[in-house]
Structure 1
Amino acid sequence: MYEPKKFEELSWREKFTLLRRTVSALSAFDKWTFPTMIISDLLLSLEPLVNLWMSALILDELIGARDIKRLVLLVLVTVGLNFLLYLGKNALANRHHILHKGMEIVQENMAASEKILDTDYENLENPDFQKKARDYWQVSRNRGSALNVFYYSMDLFFQGFFSTVCSVLLLIPFLKIVLVRTGPSFWESPWLVLALLGVMVACAAALLVVGHFYQKTNNQYCDLNLQVMRLFSYYSDLISNYRLGKEIRLFREKELIMEQAYDKTLLQIIKMSRASAQAESRFGSTNALITAVMTGAIYIFVALKALAGLFGAGDLLKYVGAIQQVATGVENLISGVTSLANLHNTQFFFDLIDTPPVKYQGTLPVEKRDDNDYLIEFKNVSFRYPGAQDWALKDFSIHLRVGERLAVVGMNGSGKTTFIKLLCRLYDPQEGVITLNGIDIKKYDYEEYLTLFSVVFQDFCVFSFPLGQNVTTSLDYDEEKVWRCLEQAGLSERVKQMPKGLDTALYKDFEEDGVEISGGEAQKVALARALYKDAPYIVLDEPTAALDPVSEHEIYERFNQFVGAKTAIYISHRLSSCRFCDQIAVFDQGRLVQTGSHDELILDESGKYYALWHAQAQYYVPEGRPRE
């Protein structure tokens, strides 16, 4: 079973690779991501320093010569510089804001969604891939988008970096002054500067260590929370799903659901939230204490030098502000570095995105034939599902002729649906080969190969979209063709009664005026979808299992009329479709045990088909009437 590697277990090389990939991913989404961020953060860092510098000059002029012209000039320069900085920041602010806010919704989640929708079906059924997808979405909901969090951390890092560098540049004249000995005592010697630097380095190191331990503790809580929130999401969906309301009320399941939800999720969430809040509070208090020590040391240092008369009031204002900006910059810089060094969130994203394809990707085009003259052949095919010991199909051979009607019958678990999955290349067999017109289907372009099939599975899906889009799986479609397919599926009269016709939303998930349709009507929507695709092979894999035998027989007969010259494959527990099929394939325990027409197979009293037919016929033949 897939388990994400704990971040502290990653080597520095792996961490650097993760960092590089995250930067590349952000740049791939928008090449201006980092240039915009860097320029914006530089302007943001310059603004307070420009004001400190100009305020110091204005204060010195007020205390000194008080030249009105010079004062006016200084004020105008201050206003002008602030205006230019404002224009620059404002020009970048919208783009900077959009990049920061839109990362999760538009970019990262879209990439993850496309991966899930495009990945091989074998991956989709794999528990490891399912866990990767669940973990990613859960982390994204609980902690925020991985790339968004990284983007914020980079933003904080650059703010701290530029603030620190610019403030240090502003302090160069100050350092030249304070490094000069003004008296015999320690307080007047350059050693005081080194003492201050020692305090600042120690405080910075302490902030780095505290931040590292906080991130590590926070990751542990988040990993535990991930497991609990997965259960919480399940119970939340269960409670809010109105389609389950009847079952919950009729079987008095409320107490069971609430007890399970409360004991397994809510109590755990409360417990972990308290522990996480306490850890965050301890981190915040420790961080504030260290910052206070660093700031206090700076103020004491500046005060001592000012008392020694090394600089005037204006310079005092400038240097105090600049040193304070250094302290703030160092704090932001360390917070950014700590966050960047912890790429735990991005791990879940890349674990999902990096899932490799399992199928061979062919490139041959599928020949487009007006006569649908395609021949598909299974040659000694054997297949078992990943992780399974038993064969789902063993030494299976059959050929599907153009225009043929094939009925596939057998008990549950006999391999009928597996046959269809292999036919559609949702899986590849471990042994044998499947060919289309004599060529291995693996060599064909997969998307083109899929155009040959219209399949309606027993567990078909009808979306909460407008009915027309459900039939066509497209935003743009041929309305006349849709109505024709609905007529053939036996649903057109029902649709004509709907308030918006083909634009009527199914169910109420998104639209308040959505229409609830019955299970039988949903099956007809799925059948209309198969007809609309107009593929040369049509497969019905027990989509009518919920219907009574008479209704199923009527649907199959109607469907058979509209199939025309296409190849049709009918799979059903019931054998009503067998009478009008050219060939019947009988499956038993993963093997093809009989083939032939109904009239041929019914004569073999020792055969599996004979047993299946008469096991069902006894419930539908009137008393006293002989069975066939």
Structure 2
Amino acid sequence: MKKMQFAEYKKITLSALKMQWTYNKRLMIREIILNLAEKLFFYGEIFCTGRVLDIIVGSRSGDFTTVLMFILLVFSIKFFEKAFQTYSNFKRSLEQYDADEKLREKRIDKISRIRMDYYESNDLYRNNSDISSFSSREIDAYFDGVISVPSKILDIIIAVVAMINISPVICAAFIAVYTPICLLKQKMGISWIKFIRSKITLQSKLQALFDFVASRTTIQELKLFNSFDYIIEQRKKLFGKIRDESIRFNLKQTNIATLLTALPLALYYGMYFVLALSVCAGKMIIGDFWIAVNLATKLNDSLSSVSGSIRSFSESCVRFKTYNDFFESEEERTNGKKLPENADIVIKNLTYSYPESENNALDHLNMTIKNGKRTAIVGYNGAGKTTLSKIIVGLYNNYDGDVCFGDVPAREIANRDIYSAFSVAFQEYCKYPFGIRENITLSADVDESRYADVLRRSGCDKLAEELLLRDETPLNKEYDEGGTDLSEGQWHRLMLARTLYHGSRYVLFDEPTASLDPLIENRFINDILEQSTDQTVIMITHRLICMPKFDNIIVLDNGAVAEQGTHAELLKKKGIYYKMWSAQAEKYTSV
């Protein structure tokens, strides 16, 4: 194993031990005690059993009381071993339940603090998806793997010391045979790591395709287009590739493992023959034969398992590395300067490109959004509008140039302070499965007067009256069988209410009406503008129905400002805006 690899696994192991101590230190201590106790139980049992056999065949002196005492000792050892193991398993199951919830909370908390830019990276996106099923059982398994290697080495040392006193030749033979086997299995373990890493991407694709088909929207569309067979074929291709690679690799590993089994087996049963000859020749009594056989078995098993543990440990290490990498992702700013009151948003020479992309989504963009004014940012699909919106609200931070609130750069303001300054609604907004009340407030601490006012102003009060449990009716039938599903127009009402309730100084809408027809779109935007008279409104869209009502319209093209001005001014220029308006005007004649 290369030095770089060793350093990596050392780092992951220390991280796993720290996490195990944080979430389940009792299990960690108990497992170490149990591991040591099992060794004492094992050697105590074979010693007592050997003495009983010696007394029975007359090799040692002893009476009924002595035999009974040794038998009771053996019984006590086995009883306490089983009882301790049962108790440990019971406690483990209880503690894992609590630890799993702590891990989920930690993951959600970490998600809230990771820079949003990182989610545009395929690696982090897949890691986040992969660790969604990560549990404390995997941490426990990794910890078991960590302590298993030194535990087996301790078993080997004890067995070797004991075997030297009985048969130095047999002891030397075991070590001579297993040393090259351990080295070869270590290489097999490293090969296993590489194989697992090469398979992760394909397995992620296979799982993602399965999760995709589980979506209600997907099922509906696949039914209408009769495309289930196509999805099945896609899965078969991925599965076939994984299967073929697995067969080739595992066949090679199996052939090597089979060859490595023959020599230890011959040695193990040859050991029986040599020890049996010693008993027949009177050189060894039956009790010592029993002890020697058990010690040799222990030595054989320990040598075999310590090499085999490398493979399972390596697999766990790859899995845990994904988890570890996720929690080491760079976090957002938590401290900084105060966001100025009533500030213009000034963007200077802004350039941004997505990870793993060679093209700029925004290219040396300059613009100013005036405080208290209504600003629309428009352009064709792919012009950079959504990217710009995410930079403005503080989600994306890895850009060149400056975004300033007044004269304070956004980079010097804590991300959460920027978030709290905005009420935001994107085209792909969240439809929480809770009731209307929770969908609007997103908090257990509710300002009742503001909530009642927002409910009335958005028209959601009438919607609530129609529901069985009013504003507490769950809004998802899959989440709660007593719930209901809303239409897209009703969800837009809720989105408006949510924005109004949070009442931030800046209101930003990014394509909020893309799924609505022109008439409903016009009403919705009018509602937004009427309800946001004291706020800075930023509307990002490629639909121009309400543009005459905005103070300033900024037209983006290829990530830069192509035109700006009022609706009338832009029409006179007969540029991009004029072409967009002309193409859409036919839809607006009846509005």
Distance of aligned partners of 1:222 and 1:340 in 2 relative to their CA distance in 1, 3 Å threshold? closer
Distance of aligned partners of 1:337 and 1:46 in 2 relative to their CA distance in 1, 3 Å threshold? farther
**Structure 1 residue 90 displacement after superposition:** 4.9
Assess if the C-alpha contact under 8 Å between 1:42 and 1:162 holds in 2: no
**Structure 1 residue 327 displacement after superposition:** 2.0
Assess if the C-alpha contact under 8 Å between 1:422 and 1:429 holds in 2: no
Determine the C-alpha separation between the residues in 1 that align with 2:565 and 2:497. 29
- Whether 1:542 and 2:511 are equivalent positions in the alignment is yes
**Structure 1 residue 158 displacement after superposition:** 4.8
- Whether 1:57 and 2:54 are equivalent positions in the alignment is no
Aligned to 2:42: 48
Q: What aligned pairs does 1:132-171 form with structure 2 within 5 A after superposition?
A: 132-133=127-128, 136-137=130-131, 147-168=139-160, 171=162
**Structure 1 residue 441 displacement after superposition:** 2.1
Letter in 2 for 1:267: G
Assess if the C-alpha contact under 8 Å between 1:404 and 1:582 holds in 2: yes
Assess if the C-alpha contact under 8 Å between 2:333 and 2:415 holds in 1: no
Determine the C-alpha separation between the residues in 2 that align with 1:278 and 1:88. 40
Q: What aligned pairs does 1:69-80 form with structure 2 within 5 A after superposition?
A: 69-80=65-76
Assess if the C-alpha contact under 8 Å between 1:214 and 1:279 holds in 2: no
Aligned to 1:130: 125
**Structure 1 residue 194 displacement after superposition:** 4.5
Determine the C-alpha separation between the residues in 2 that align with 1:206 and 1:341. 19
Determine the C-alpha separation between the residues in 2 that align with 1:432 and 1:152. 50
Q: Deviations over 1:133-156 (max 9, x none)?
A: 46x459x78x99764542232243
Distance of aligned partners of 1:618 and 1:96 in 2 relative to their CA distance in 1, 3 Å threshold? closer
Q: What aligned pairs does 1:378-393 form with structure 2 within 5 A after superposition?
A: 378-386=346-354, 387-390=357-360, 392-393=362-363
**Structure 1 residue 398 displacement after superposition:** 0.8
Distance of aligned partners of 1:275 and 1:395 in 2 relative to their CA distance in 1, 3 Å threshold? closer
Q: What aligned pairs does 1:304-323 form with structure 2 within 5 A after superposition?
A: 304-323=277-296
**Structure 1 residue 482 displacement after superposition:** 4.7
Determine the C-alpha separation between the residues in 1 that align with 2:177 and 2:318. 26
Aligned to 1:200: 174
Determine the C-alpha separation between the residues in 1 that align with 2:62 and 2:158. 29
Q: Deviations over 1:456-491 (max 9, x none)?
A: 112223244555433333456457755543443333
Determine the C-alpha separation between the residues in 1 that align with 2:583 and 2:271. 93
Aligned to 2:468: 499
Distance of aligned partners of 1:515 and 1:209 in 2 relative to their CA distance in 1, 3 Å threshold? farther
| Alignment TM-score, normalising by the size of structure 2 | 0.85
Distance of aligned partners of 1:581 and 1:54 in 2 relative to their CA distance in 1, 3 Å threshold? same
Letter in 2 for 1:119: I
Assess if the C-alpha contact under 8 Å between 1:407 and 1:577 holds in 2: no
Match of 1:37 among 19, 31, 36: 31
Determine the C-alpha separation between the residues in 2 that align with 1:391 and 1:270. 39
Match of 2:394 among 408, 425, 433: 425
Distance of aligned partners of 1:430 and 1:57 in 2 relative to their CA distance in 1, 3 Å threshold? closer
Gaps of 5+ in 2: none
Gaps of 5+ in 1: 1-6, 179-192, 368-372
Aligned length: 586
Q: Calculate the aligned-residue CA RMSD, in Å.
A: 3.7
Aligned to 1:4: none
Distance of aligned partners of 1:164 and 1:90 in 2 relative to their CA distance in 1, 3 Å threshold? farther
Determine the C-alpha separation between the residues in 2 that align with 1:518 and 1:8. 58
Match of 1:563 among 520, 532, 549: 532
Distance of aligned partners of 1:86 and 1:365 in 2 relative to their CA distance in 1, 3 Å threshold? farther
Q: What aligned pairs does 1:585-596 form with structure 2 within 5 A after superposition?
A: 585-596=554-565
Match of 2:569 among 579, 601, 604: 601
Match of 1:355 among 329, 333, 337: 329
Determine the C-alpha separation between the residues in 2 that align with 1:133 and 1:354. 12
Assess if the C-alpha contact under 8 Å between 1:380 and 1:433 holds in 2: yes
**Structure 1 residue 200 displacement after superposition:** 0.4
- Equivalent position SS for 1:459: coil
Aligned to 2:544: 575
Match of 1:375 among 333, 343, 352: 343
Determine the C-alpha separation between the residues in 1 that align with 2:310 and 2:562. 67
| Alignment TM-score, normalising by the size of structure 1 | 0.81
Determine the C-alpha separation between the residues in 2 that align with 1:574 and 1:115. 37
- Equivalent position SS for 1:397: strand
Determine the C-alpha separation between the residues in 2 that align with 1:456 and 1:13. 45
Assess if the C-alpha contact under 8 Å between 2:100 and 2:136 holds in 1: no
Aligned to 2:487: 518
Determine the C-alpha separation between the residues in 2 that align with 1:22 and 1:213. 23
Letter in 2 for 1:383: T
**Structure 1 residue 8 displacement after superposition:** 6.5
- Whether 1:239 and 2:231 are equivalent positions in the alignment is no
Determine the C-alpha separation between the residues in 1 that align with 2:74 and 2:229. 69
Q: Deviations over 1:59-118 (max 9, x none)?
A: 33344445233334334444444455555545544445667x669955667655654443
- Equivalent position SS for 1:203: helix
